[in-house]
Structure 1
Amino acid sequence: MAAVLHSAPRFASNEGVKDALSTALGAMLVSAKEEHGEIVLTVKRASIEDVLRLLRDEHDYQQLMEMAGVDYPGRAERFEVVYMLLSLTRNHRVMVKVSTDEATPVPTVTTLWPNAGWLEREVFDMFGVLFDGNTDLRRILTDYGFEGHPFRKDFPLTGYHELRYSEEEKRVVYEPVQLAQDFRSFDFMSPWEGADYILPGDEKADVPPVAEPMTTEKPSQTGAGAKADAKAAEKKSAGAPAEKDSDTKDAGAPDPTEDRPDEPARKGSVTGTKAATETDKKEEGE
């Protein structure tokens, strides 16, 4: 069978890719590095559309595979938008990053890939990043009327609102989250070892002091008090009637079979099984 040749290599190499792309991007590039076996390019936010068009048209990264958001609350520009590109002809991937804040929009790349519209909507829904030029920037994962962006680090785990279906209003209603009880502080101690402090409510418990174990020297001492000891020392009643001796002699076991007399002889001319069978055959022949 002839070998099948393909233009794309089986294993992609990063050798020379970072330097070549860095040179091609020029002033639009902020930084470039190779990390975890991938080429990562950080570019200027305003130049993202030009950067991706250059990578698509001149360096054969034809497909936008995915977009993702990352939140770093400690940074001035807390959000990163990450674009994952794939070259089908070279079997190679690169990651392109831009930074932004809550108010500054990122230029849309829906002009380059139609699927970017759905991906930008997801980043907007989860992180609140705005995309300038996206004509359909709506929420895509959360429900109608949802407030906040769930993937932000400062978003509360319980959310701001809860929803339920109201039988009275016959629709889904939103209500502020009301916790059934306040959050408690745990010291992460083992419950079997016990805490070093008195928990609220424990001071009301009436727990008797633990005494030393009771030991007894005689069976009559039960350890339950003088009255119980006197009861235990009482003499027991007589035994059951079956335990008393009787004048009736026990019949005993039957005599052995060998000592029994022989049974009387059987009436008739034939006593053996074989002779009886032969007699029956003779009678049938007659």
Structure 2
Amino acid sequence: MRASVEIGEVVIHTDRDSLLGLLETLRDDPRFAFEQLMDICGVDWPQRAERFDVVYNLLSVSLNHRIRVIVTTDEASAVPSVCGVWPCATWWEREAYDLFGITFSGQADLRRILTDYGFVGHPLRKDFPLTGYVEVRYDEERRQVIYEPVKLTQDYRRFDFISPWEGMTTLPGDEKAHREG
């Protein structure tokens, strides 16, 4: 565990095994009194072995302090759920699972929350394709929603890769400036 001040805010980096004890201490000890869990978010660092940061932002209303707690994990290792410390964590843990694929041990309701239940992949991972894997559309004839593989048609596009500013010799409206006479 290490603590530092980053951009004027206290940040604690901890490991998965120490997370629950640390958060309970930060909540229950009157010297800290972090009564509120403001949010939980994920960060993807695909070049690291433990590619995900799980970030807990806490607020002490009574002492007017904020703190950030960060724990790292990989795709296979579950982070302990903190919904026993703050029940509101369930929603944010589900969001981190849905969008990043981060799992939380002890989370009774770990299912998708923002994407469809049949959605493939985790869209906030940096290795997720920008176009996704499937397209969704409504088919009038079949009167149902259809899932199809993404088709990227580039046949009608022409790219010259020249900046429009480099090819212009006269800006619009400046035609008279270059006339002789």
Q: Could you state the TM-score of these two structures normalised by the residue count of structure 2? A: 0.85
Question: How many equivalent pairs are there?
Answer: 165
CA shift digits 1:93-112 (9 cap, x unpaired): 00000000111110000111
Report the equivalent of 2:87: 114
Taking the aligned partners of 2:107 and 2:159, their CA distance within structure 1 comes to 46
Report the equivalent of 1:176: 149
Higher helix fraction (1 or 2): 1
Question: Residue 146 of structure 1 aligns to a residue in which SS?
Answer: coil
How far the C-alpha of 1:185 sits from its partner, in A, is 6.3
Q: Which has the higher contact order (CA 8 A, sep 6+)?
A: 2
> Which protein shows a greater Rg?
1
Structure 1 residues 188 and 83 mapped into 2: Cα distance closer, same or farther (>3 Å)?
farther
How far the C-alpha of 1:189 sits from its partner, in A, is 3.3
CA shift digits 1:62-105 (9 cap, x unpaired): 11011111001111111000000111110100000000011111
Structure 1 residues 84 and 186 mapped into 2: Cα distance closer, same or farther (>3 Å)?
farther
1:45 equivalent among 1, 6, 16: 16
RMSD in angstroms over aligned alpha carbons?
1.8
Report the equivalent of 2:25: 54
How far the C-alpha of 1:184 sits from its partner, in A, is 6.9
Taking the aligned partners of 2:67 and 2:107, their CA distance within structure 1 comes to 24
1:193 corresponds to 2:164: no
1:142 corresponds to 2:111: no
Structure 1 residues 91 and 134 mapped into 2: Cα distance closer, same or farther (>3 Å)?
same
Taking the aligned partners of 1:144 and 1:186, their CA distance within structure 2 comes to 41
2:37 equivalent among 64, 69, 94: 64
Question: Residue 154 of structure 1 aligns to a residue in which SS?
Answer: coil
Q: List gaps (5 residues or longer) in structure 1.
A: 1-28, 195-286
Structure 1 residues 119 and 140 mapped into 2: Cα distance closer, same or farther (>3 Å)?
same
How far the C-alpha of 1:186 sits from its partner, in A, is 5.5
Query: Stretches of 4+ moved more than 6 A in 1?
Result: 182-185
How far the C-alpha of 1:168 sits from its partner, in A, is 2.7
